[in-house]
Chains A and B, each alone.
Chain A
């Protein structure tokens, strides 16, 4: 067995032990515990809050436009990272290129703002 699969083997042993441990404890406590079901006890546990509606409820879709804008602008930052790391190597040329990149992003943000995508209804 090569080295690397041995390390996976340890992980699986750990995983298996954990699963057996949890199963054994839950079974044991299930066997010995008293069972008195009331409506209050069977209700979904939401950290002490009264549960409202079903868990399959829908979210209002005007969240999505913020989420999408966030995703797009958030992911674009990935290009800033290598530039920041190699800032000195790229010098002025890199700065100008990043300036162009940011300018395009800002134009997009300006458009989203003017078209009312950033307004909360």
Chain B
């Protein structure tokens, strides 16, 4: 072990340092004085972390084979840093209004980000496990950050209990993978799985446990029950973060474990994943149709999007294009879903309660920029060109058909069409109806509005010129899916 090891994880080290600095400033200077500039400390720190990659060694395995730096981990570093920065930019008005401790919020987001980045670096079950827990535990805290709000209590308790349960299941699956191979190294596990094959009961047990555990983390139906309550009850900035970063991290873990360690039996689990994908997207969309609370509707919509991403995972037999589709979808979903939740932060609602459809009536006449941004994010989520949301869905089709799941491609198309109804209903409420007398106050927050504006324009620009991200995704999928 040398100094090279520490340099290889320089971005993660810097994010850790920033999290500690934020905590220490918050505790040392005092909440009230630190509050205005803590977001900027966080953002600058995240930017330095991203830039520091150029000083890090080019790539390879480090820490005696516990950590690997490749294009896959770099892609997720970029994604997680962007998501954390976006979360921090849009959060301050809500945190001030609801008197949520700001230092704790930013530090917890950063800690979770480090965990998510660690998952992408993992080439060993131990690193992967530590990463998953470091990502999850802060998110339980984020969900319950409004300690005096009953909804937030309930959200964090449910999220915590099911999260801990799923971790234990996943971990038991890891124990079986270790039992099969005698190693925690993903490549060595793959070799042992190839020899043992699906005829070995131990492999079946490990596969079932790992699929269940990761399914919980990514909110795959039927392991999704915690999602709507956790998303609805959590403070809206926390919901924005936890609907995207843990899901992206879960898919990073799924790709690392399923495509690398369990890659040799890909043909066997692919069908299970394809069926889960159809169930997930259909359930998510059908339940979302009947929701009147927009926050809860977006929670179910995020379950539906898990289904689309899962379809691309099921198609990994098609090679790197499927991996690239997963990565590109995760990136696009991250920005559009975070943006959609962030739009709800514009409205001053009591506590964690999400806006009902009627409370959004006439938003266009009261806050034109916010209504426009929200519309753009919803159009993205629907998947209408020329947005990045459309492109992400489009990229899923080809690998799914190549892998022989034509029925899955049909299911995606039908689901996307059905989903348009509930997304566009929100747009109708914002533009066509007049505001009610008791409509919630709109937050005149400048940074929040600007961030939403820039992010919504970015989704359109990426929809027209996807190449920087898409070619990055193709390169990132390489180390995972070339056998």
Contact = CB atoms under 8 A, between A and B. Distances in A.
- Complex: A in contact with B (CB within 8 Å): yes
Interface of A: 93, 104, 107-108, 110-111, 113-115
B20 A104 contact: yes
Interface string B1-18: 110000000000000100
A93 B27 contact: no
Contacts of A114: 27-28
Given A93-B1, A93-B2, A110 B16 contact: no
B23 interface: yes
Given A104-B16, A104-B20, A111 B27 contact: yes
A114 B26 CA distance: 9
B1 A107 contact: no
A115 B16 CA distance: 20
A115 to B, nearest CB: 6
Contacts of A108: 23
Nearest to B101: A115
A33 B157 CA distance: 54
Given A93-B1, A104-B20, A115-B27, 13 more contacts: A93-B2, A104-B16, A107-B23, A107-B24, A108-B23, A110-B24, A110-B27, A110-B28, A111-B23, A111-B26, A113-B27, A114-B27, A114-B28
A114 B27 CA distance: 6
A104 B26 CA distance: 16
A93 B2 CA distance: 7
Contacts of B23: 107-108, 111
Looking at chain B, what size class is its interface with the partner chain?
under 10
Main secondary structure of the interface of A (DSSP, over half): helix
B35 to A, nearest CB: 15
B16 to A, nearest CB: 7
A93 B63 CA distance: 12
A93 B26 CA distance: 31
A67 B206 CA distance: 36
Nearest to B30: A114
A106 to B, nearest CB: 10
A111 B104 CA distance: 10
Interface string B230-248: 0000000000000000000
Contacts of B26: 111
A54 to B, nearest CB: 28
Nearest to A113: B27
B20 A107 contact: yes
A68 B420 CA distance: 48
A95 B395 CA distance: 49
15 contacts: A93-B1, A93-B2, A104-B16, A104-B20, A107-B20, A107-B24, A108-B23, A110-B24, A110-B27, A110-B28, A111-B24, A111-B26, A111-B27, A114-B27, A115-B27
A80 to B, nearest CB: 17
B147 to A, nearest CB: 13
Nearest to B31: A115
Contacts of B1: 93
A104 B23 CA distance: 11
Contacts of B24: 107, 110-111
Sorted nearest first, the 7 A-B pairs with minimum C-beta distance are A114-B27, A107-B20, A111-B27, A111-B23, A93-B1, A115-B27, A107-B24
A75 to B, nearest CB: 14
A113 B28 CA distance: 10
Interface string B53-83: 0000000000000000000000000000000
Nearest to B1: A93
A108 B16 CA distance: 12
B246 to A, nearest CB: 22
Nearest to A116: B27
Contacts of B28: 110, 114
Contacts of B20: 104, 107
Contacts of A115: 27
A107 B23 CA distance: 8
A114 B31 CA distance: 11
A115 B24 CA distance: 10
A20 B419 CA distance: 71
Most chain-A Cβ atoms within 10 A of its Cβ — which of B2, B16, B27, B28? Answer: B27
Nearest to A90: B1
A115 B23 CA distance: 10
Contacts of A113: 27
A111 B28 CA distance: 8
A9 B26 CA distance: 61
Interface string B22-44: 01101110000000000000000
A111 B25 CA distance: 9
B140 to A, nearest CB: 14
A106 B366 CA distance: 49
Nearest to B107: A111
Contacts of A104: 16, 20
Contacts of B2: 93
Contacts of A110: 24, 27-28
A46 B1 CA distance: 58
A114 B24 CA distance: 9
A115 B2 CA distance: 37
B224 to A, nearest CB: 30
Contacts of A107: 20, 23-24
A58 B27 CA distance: 32
A114 B16 CA distance: 20
A82 to B, nearest CB: 14
